Amino acid sequence: MAERAKLTRDGAWARIVMAGRQEAPRGAGFDPALRADLQRAFTEALAGTSLRAIVLRAGEGGWPVAADPAQDYLAQADAPTLAGLAAMIARSPVPVIALMDGLVAGGALALAQAADLRIARPGTRFAAPEFGLGFVPGGGGMVRLARRIGVEPALEFVTSGQVLRTEAAHRLGLCDTVATGITADLPDDIAPRAAAIAEPQAYIDSLARLRSQPRQGPQAEVMARLLDVCEAAVLLPEEEAITFEGVACADLIAGEMSQALRHVLAARRRAVRLAGTGPGATAQITRLALWNPSERLTHALVERGVSVEIGASEPARLEQILQVVARAQHAAVAAGHLTEQQRAAAWDRLTPVAGIADFSPAQMVLAAPRPGEVAALRTHFAAGEGVLALEGVRQREAGELQFSRAAALAEVTGGPETDAALQALAGILRAERDLVIHAEGLSASFETTFWLAAERMVMAGATPAAVDAALTAWGFAEGPFARLDRRGLPAAFAQFNARDGRAGAYLNWLGLEGRTGRAAGKGVWLYGEAGARIWPEEEEELRALRREAGITPQALAPQEIVARILAELARAGADALQQGRAHRAGDVDLVAISVLGFPRHRGGPLFQADRAGLLAVRKRLRALADESAPAPDTLWDVLIRNGRRFAELDEPVAA
Measured distance CA(294)–CA(298) in Å, rounded: 6
Measured distance CA(74)–CA(70) in Å, rounded: 7
Count CB neighbours of 207 within 10 A.
22
H or E stretch including 325? helix 315-334
* Closest residue by Cα to residue 535 from 543, 526, 527: 526
Measured distance CA(453)–CA(556) in Å, rounded: 14
The CATH number corresponding to 5-254 among 3.90.226.10, 3.30.70.260, 1.10.3720.10, 3.40.718.10 equals: 3.90.226.10
Measured distance CA(51)–CA(513) in Å, rounded: 87
Task: Classify 308 as helix, strand or coil.
Answer: strand
Task: Answer yes or no: are the C-beta atoms of 121 and 179 closer than 8 Å.
Answer: yes
Measured distance CA(92)–CA(104) in Å, rounded: 22
* Domain 444-649 fold: N-(1-d-carboxylethyl)-l-norvaline Dehydrogenase; domain 2 (1.10.1040)
Handedness of CA 193, 196, 201, 203 (dihedral sign): positive
Measured distance CA(123)–CA(465) in Å, rounded: 53
* Closest residue by Cα to residue 112 from 136, 89, 143, 88: 89
Q: How does 554-579 read in b/e, with b if 16+ C-beta sit within 10 Å?
A: eebeeebbbbbbbbbbbbbbbbbbee
Angle (nearest 5°) at CA 260 between 258 and 266:
100
Say how many CA atoms lie within 13 Å of 116 toward its Cβ.
18
Measured distance CA(456)–CA(624) in Å, rounded: 9
Phi/psi for 18 (5° steps) reads: -80, 155
Measured distance CA(210)–CA(152) in Å, rounded: 8
With a CB cutoff of 8 Å and minimum separation 6, the contacts of 376 are 356, 357
Give, in order, the Cα–Cα distances in Å from 52 to each of 48, 115, 202: 10, 14, 36
Measured distance CA(30)–CA(224) in Å, rounded: 27
Q: What is the pLDDT of residue 280?
A: 65
Q: What is the pLDDT of residue 48?
A: 81
Question: SS3 breakdown of the chain: % helix, strand, coil, rounded to 5?
Answer: 50, 15, 35
With a CB cutoff of 8 Å and minimum separation 6, the contacts of 210 are 151, 152, 155, 227
Count CB neighbours of 174 within 10 A.
26
Measured distance CA(255)–CA(399) in Å, rounded: 46
Task: Answer yes or no: are the C-beta atoms of 186 and 115 closer than 8 Å.
Answer: no
Task: Answer yes or no: are the C-beta atoms of 591 and 442 closer than 8 Å.
Answer: yes
Quote the pTM value. Answer: 0.93
Edge-first strand listing for the sheet containing 13-18: 5-10, 13-18, 53-58, 96-100, 117-120, 177-178
The domain ranges of the chain are: 5-254, 287-438, 444-649
Q: Which regions of 587-643 does DSSP assign to beta strands (E)?
A: none
Q: Three-state SS string across 130-165, please? A: CHHHCCCCCCCHHHHHHHHHCHHHHHHHHHHCCCEE
Low-confidence ranges of the chain (pLDDT < 50): none
* Closest residue by Cα to residue 270 from 143, 114, 435, 447: 435
pLDDT tens track for 192-244: 776 678 889 999 999 999 999 988 889 999 999 999 999 999 999 999 999 99
Q: What is the pLDDT of residue 527?
A: 94
Question: What's at 353, amino acid-wise?
Answer: V
To the nearest 10°, the Cα dihedral for 116, 13, 37, 655? 60
Measured distance CA(555)–CA(205) in Å, rounded: 51
Architecture of the domain made up of 287-438: 3-Layer(aba) Sandwich (3.40)
Measured distance CA(570)–CA(584) in Å, rounded: 13
Measured distance CA(632)–CA(625) in Å, rounded: 9
DSSP character string of 152-218 = HHHHHHHHH-PPEEHHHHHHHTS-SEE-SSSS-PPPS--PPPP-S-S-HHHHHHHHHHHHHS---ST
Mean pLDDT computed over every residue of the chain? 92
Measured distance CA(184)–CA(97) in Å, rounded: 11
Q: What is the pLDDT of residue 585?
A: 97
Measured distance CA(49)–CA(246) in Å, rounded: 34
Phi/psi for 431 (5° steps) reads: -65, -20
Phi/psi for 332 (5° steps) reads: -65, -35
Give, in order, the Cα–Cα distances in Å from 579 to each of 19, 283, 358, 412: 43, 27, 39, 16
Strands 125-126 and 164-165: antiparallel
Task: Answer yes or no: are the C-beta atoms of 590 and 267 closer than 8 Å.
Answer: yes
Measured distance CA(588)–CA(571) in Å, rounded: 11
How close are the terminal C-alpha atoms of the chain, in Å? 21
